A and B are shown apart, each in its own frame.
Chain A
Amino acid sequence: MRKLFYLLLAASLILVLLSCSPQKRKLYIYNWSDYMNPDLMSEFEKRFNCTIITDYFDSNEAMYAKLRVADGSYDIIVPSSYMAAVMNHEKLLSKLDLSKFSNARNMDLSYSAKTEDPHMEYSIPYAISFTGLGYNRKRLGDPIENSWNAFGNPAYFHKITMLNDMREAIGSALKYLGYSLNSIDDKQLQEAKIQMLKWKKNIAAYQTDEAKSSLAYNILYAIECYNGDIIMMQEDNPDLDFVIPKEGTSIGVDTLVIPSNAPNPDLAYEFVNFIYEPENCANNMEYIGYLCPDKPALSLLDKEFISKITISEELFSKSEVIRDLGYGNEKYVSIWEEILASSD
């Protein structure tokens, strides 16, 4: 018994010593959950003799709040483009040295062109998502109405949800009315509010993640969601389908950034270069179900999958990326709260 104890003690001491061996570098990543293929990460750890430590966040705002008090804790963060712009504005990000990324040369910058950082100065596009309507073909009987006005369609009364995200929700009303989803024009926003109040009477709720389980349980027949959500859910339920309304939608561009106070920026550069190696990038797209606009990686994927993670030229030209609006943001907050608080 005593022997065993000493053996265990020795073993644990060795483990402790190993884990603090000075050669092993550490890479700290701050990411959304389930948003990077773990196999790739362990391969990187092997190849570069390092340890990756990942923390997770569930909203850009939560990540931002933490970073402001814990600046210097992460090497790589995966914010959405508008949040990357805010972080850049607050001088939290390092300017990227593109000469260090041999693999970033083939990036399709047409998505970045719609963001605040069109030339990859501080952020690299990592995953592109499209907002649309996920629905149960069997339950609805027909394909869903191809318009944002599906939220007001009485056939879907209390069986459809909008995202619990003020910019996405008000954005879809703005798109339906033919306006920009980054509008800060009071008249247009007022019209969008009236449209939202009409839809509010017909929809079941404003929900983001919870709506997905409701769609799976057949409590809802249609939800506003992201294309990747449905790709993931189709594995369990082939009756599900996804459509992007004809008026155009919001394109989400999640990016990789390196904070200005990253503890290990060199390793961060190595990692970014590794992730954008064509095979790795293609592999990662298959895992997360979202597009990464890296041309050589896309050439490795089959056509059917690519059609699921991309949109048509026509829709692309009608779609926009949500931008941070600075003080204009307050207009959205007050409209959103007015919509939520209104009772008919």
Chain B
Amino acid sequence: MKSDSSKNKITEILISAPTLSWLTVFFLIPTIMAIIMALRPSNPYGDLLPGWTLENFKTIFSPIYISVVWRTIWVSILSTIICLLFSVPVGYYMARLSEKFRKIILFLVIVPFWTNFLIRIFAWKLILNPDGLIHKTFVFLGIIPSGGSLIYNTGTVILVIIYTYLPFAILPIFAAAERFDFKLLEAARDLGATRWLAFLHIFIPNISKGLMAAAAMVLIPCLGSYVIPDLVGGTNSQMVGNLIANQAFVARNIPMAAAWSTLLMAMILLPLGLILCVKILLDKNKD
């Protein structure tokens, strides 16, 4: 018995070794390097100076940046929620489709990845153009004034973020829904649950792992957004990613950029830790 479990442990370690070393080389070491870099002083020529400082971290917590950090958080969370709201029904219906149609829909979900991400963002500028149909319809319906613009505001940033990351939410939810036994829903209905109640109490808990994965897949890249607010955002759409770019490319201050990256990392690891805790709790409840 004992030798069996130790054998299992060795296999476990061997199997996870490639992933672990990958994560160490490309995630753990760079993360530690960024944190160390954030503690270094520097001069305006981009040279690192000897010694250590907490000045960079003091700067990022100064009150002028609160609005940017807060915007980064709420834009990311709102985008994630909307992505999930869209992808749950999509995943549900995709899983119920016949093999043939499912493949077609799956193909359609993946097809945007064939086009470069930047080109797709530029396409939005054409779609929302003031000479375009959408803009004209909105003006006709009185949603926006005729001189108004659909581009250069935070709403458009959220729209484009949702568009970009929606497939990342659909795929894990679909994968979870595909494994779901839809007979359970029928059983719930037989036992008197309404369609909505059955969906909420049977389907949703059963795809919870997919939901968690989808939330992480959307939230994490959202928090690091840089290109989208840069391209379609207005004067009040800056996110933490833009501050990092400004420090690295304009101010020549790599330690400051590293301090912002560290904050971003903390913002990402915190919800990830939460998701992990919830997952562990859920698993425990099942036992």
Interface residues of A (CB under 8 A from B): 59, 61-62, 64-65, 68, 86, 89-90, 157-159, 164-166, 200-201, 203-207, 210, 213-214, 217-219, 324-327, 329-330, 333, 336-338, 340-344
Contact = CB atoms under 8 A, between A and B. Distances in A.
Contact of A59 (B67, B131, B243, B249): B249
Interface string B40-57: 000111100000000000
B130 interface: yes
Given A205-B235, A217-B125, A89 B253 contact: no
Given A337-B64, A340-B246, A219 B151 contact: yes
Interface in B236-256: 236-238, 242-243, 246-253
Contacts of B251: 329-330, 333
29 contacts: A61-B249, A61-B250, A89-B45, A158-B147, A158-B149, A159-B149, A166-B246, A201-B235, A206-B235, A210-B230, A217-B129, A219-B128, A219-B129, A219-B130, A324-B44, A326-B45, A327-B44, A329-B44, A329-B252, A330-B251, A333-B246, A336-B246, A337-B243, A338-B64, A341-B64, A341-B67, A341-B68, A341-B243, A343-B67
Given A62-B249, A204-B235, A214-B151, A86 B45 contact: yes
Contacts of B45: 86, 89-90, 326
A204 B149 contact: yes
B152 interface: yes
Contacts of B128: 219
Interface in B192-241: 230-231, 233-238
Nearest to A206: B235
Given A158-B152, A204-B235, A210-B231, A217 B64 contact: no
Contact of A337 (B46, B130, B230, B246): B246
Contacts of A344: 236
Contact of A61 (B126, B149, B151, B252): B252
B65 interface: yes
B149 A219 contact: yes
B122 interface: yes
Contact of A333 (B46, B236, B250): B250
B112 interface: no
A218 B44 contact: no
Given A90-B45, A210-B230, A219 B250 contact: no
Q: Interface of chain B, helix or strand or loop or mixed? A: loop
A214 to B, nearest CB: 7
B30 interface: no
Nearest to B43: A327
A55 B143 CA distance: 48
B148 interface: yes
B234 A205 contact: yes
B67 A219 contact: no
Given A68-B46, A206-B235, A158 B148 contact: yes
B264 to A, nearest CB: 16
Q: Which 7 A-B pairs have the closest CB atoms?
A: A204-B152, A333-B251, A343-B67, A329-B44, A61-B249, A341-B68, A205-B152
A317 B210 CA distance: 65
B162 to A, nearest CB: 20
A327 B238 CA distance: 25
Nearest to B251: A333
Nearest to B47: A90
Contact of B65 (A59, A86, A165, A337): A337
Contact of A65 (B46, B68, B125, B230): B46
Nearest to B242: A340
Contacts of A204: 149, 151-152, 234-235
Which of A59, A61, A166, A219 has the most C-beta atoms of chain B within 10 angstroms of its own C-beta? A219
Contacts of A213: 122, 125
B146 to A, nearest CB: 12
